[in-house]
Amino acid sequence: MNGWHKTVEGWLGRGKVSGSDWIPVLADSLMLLLVLLAAFAVYFIALRIVVRLIRAAVKRTENTWDDELVHSRVFRWIAQLVPGMVLWVGGQAVLRDPTASDIVRILAEVYIIVCSILTLNSVLNVCERIYRRFPVSREVPIKGFIQVFKILLFVAGTIFVVASVIGKSPVLIFSGLGALTAVMMLIFKDSILGLVAGVQLSANRMIARGDWIEMPKFGADGDVIDVALTTVKVQNFDKTITTIPTYALISDSFRNWRGMSESGVRRIKRNLLLDMNSVRLLDPPSVERFRKIRLLRDYLDTKKKELDEWNRQFPDEEIGEPVNARALTNLGTFRAYIGEYLKVHPRISKNHTLLVRQLQPTEHGLPIEIYVFTNDNRWIEYEGIQSDIFDHLLAVLPEFGLNVFQAPSGADLKALK
């Protein structure tokens, strides 16, 4: 390299007085300029030729996951590492002044460190996007872990940059971080809490992208669209976005509808409020009229045999009193009709609980609760099935001599007088 310096100095000092102070400086500057041009040329070759050849080769492969590399900036950042290395080697070689050489070395090292960090950051982004292509990513999200790695990466990069600028070993700076642990924990409190919560959420599979969750405390009722280190994003059904701290999903309660979605069924648990004043015993003509209802024939025959056997053990004069004998009621017959109607309904699951029961009477009437599962858990279809069932039951209710309970209005109160 000294020969090159002498040659350049001789060329610059031709016709000048030998020993001029500016000639060595100008020679070093000119050679540094040549190094910069060489670095730019290498970068152009790496970016325009090598990177393009790699991208073309990747596009020809049958795999789809490597397309993420093409759409990322990984190759661009790698290409930018090359001129930094050229400048780091060549800059120190052509500059004879120690101060100038150190400045170029520091700038080149900082440039290389920054490009390396950005390269690794792009690689982590690519890994996350590739992972999201697999079904397991819905149940075990890794975005929180990726963000932790990014934080550690940028912290380490900052330490290496500082070490390069002050000319100290990075080991000394890393060893001095122990005194800053409390400060670091305060600064990264949310990230640390989010990391711990993210590990628990992933390990226990409590939440995943695509899950429908409800968390009234934060006004969340919709689908999870992102599970990050510190926050979970929920797109509500009105298309608004609710952001929930990740650790809140561990410390507070929420409802996850994943089990319902995966089961293929959805529960109907709803009441009919009946007027208790409309409940009565059935007389023989009413029983015969109900026998015309196909769904009630087997029930009425079985019930008639049961009641006849019961009433046979008492004298006829006692059975003559309705209170002494067991008899059918319009309410019991209506409950039996509901059960049979649901058993033959094509949209009701036959493999899950099917229950029609009478609940505790209240000031709002006598509740008859229907507890069944539809075999279609899609929201719109589910609501249609539920509405059709109760439309039918409300329509046939008067056929059983029963009335729906309604709070009386002013006009109703006048009619009672």
How does pLDDT run across 264-297, given as a tens digit for each residue? Answer: 899 999 999 999 999 998 888 998 999 999 999 9
Residue 358: pLDDT above 90? yes
Half-sphere exposure of 274 (CA within 13 A, CB side): 26
| First-last CA distance in the chain | 118
Q: Which of 109, 86, 103, 104 is nearest to 162 (CA)?
A: 109
R_g of the chain computed on alpha carbons: 40
Residue 329 has pLDDT above 80, yes or no: yes
For 197-223, write each residue's pLDDT tens digit.
Answer: 877 777 777 888 888 999 999 999 999
DSSP 160-217: HHHHHHHT--HHHHHHGGGGGHHHHHHHTHHHHHHHHHHHHHHHTT---TT-EEEEGG
Q: Which range (25-29, 113-117, 331-335) has the least confidence?
A: 25-29
How many whole angstroms separate alpha carbon 317 and alpha carbon 307?
16
- Determine the pLDDT at residue 143: 76
- Whole-angstrom distance, CA of residue 108 vs CA of residue 86: 9
**Model confidence at 411: pLDDT above 70:** no
How far is it, in rounded angstroms, from Cα 176 to Cα 193?
Answer: 24
Reported as a single tens digit per residue, the pLDDT across 225-271 is 988 777 889 999 999 999 998 888 888 889 998 888 888 899 999 99
User: How crowded is the C-beta side of 282, counted as CA atoms within 13 Å?
Assistant: 25
pLDDT > 80? residue 396: yes
Mean pLDDT of 115-132: 87
- Give the residue-averaged pLDDT of 183-195: 71
Contact between residue 231 and residue 246 where contact means Cβ atoms under 8 Å apart = yes
Entry field: residues in the chain: 417
DSSP 82-93: HHHHHHHHHHHH
Comparing 82-86, 97-101, 174-178, 197-201, which segment has the lowest mean pLDDT? 174-178
Band of the pLDDT at 96, cuts 50, 70, 90?
Answer: low
Percent of the chain with pLDDT over 70: 81
Q: What is 266-416's CATH topology?
A: Alpha-Beta Plaits (3.30.70)
Beta bridge partners of 358: 368
Residue 18 vs residue 49, higher pLDDT: 49
pLDDT of residue 414: 47
- What residues does each domain of the chain span? 2-133, 266-416
Contact between 241 and 233 under an 8 Å Cβ cutoff? The reply is yes
Query: pTM of the prediction?
Result: 0.59
Closest to 278 (Cα-Cα) out of 180, 361, 378: 361
Would you say 355 and 373 are in contact if contact means Cβ atoms under 8 Å apart? no
Query: Which of 20-24, 153-157, 311-315 is predicted with the least confidence, judged by mean pLDDT?
Result: 20-24
Residues 93 and 100: beta-carbon distance below 8 Å: no
Q: What average pLDDT does this structure show over 46-74?
A: 74
Return the pLDDT at 321: 65
Burial class (CB in 10 A: 0-12, 13-18, 19+), 286: middle
pLDDT at 46 over 80: no
The per-residue pLDDT for range 372-389, each reduced to its tens digit, is 999 999 889 999 999 999
- Give residue for tokens 């170029």: 104
CA dihedral for 54, 57, 59, 63, sign (positive or negative): negative
Q: Which of 11-15, 83-87, 254-258, 319-323 reaches the highest mean pLDDT?
A: 254-258
Q: Give the single-character DSSP code of 368.
A: E
Confidence bin at 107 (pLDDT 50/70/90): confident
Q: What is the distance between the alpha carbons of residues 397 and 417, in angstroms, rounded to a whole number? A: 26
Strand partners, 214: 221, 255
In this predicted structure, what is the pLDDT of residue 413?
45
In this prediction, residue 4 carries a pLDDT of: 53
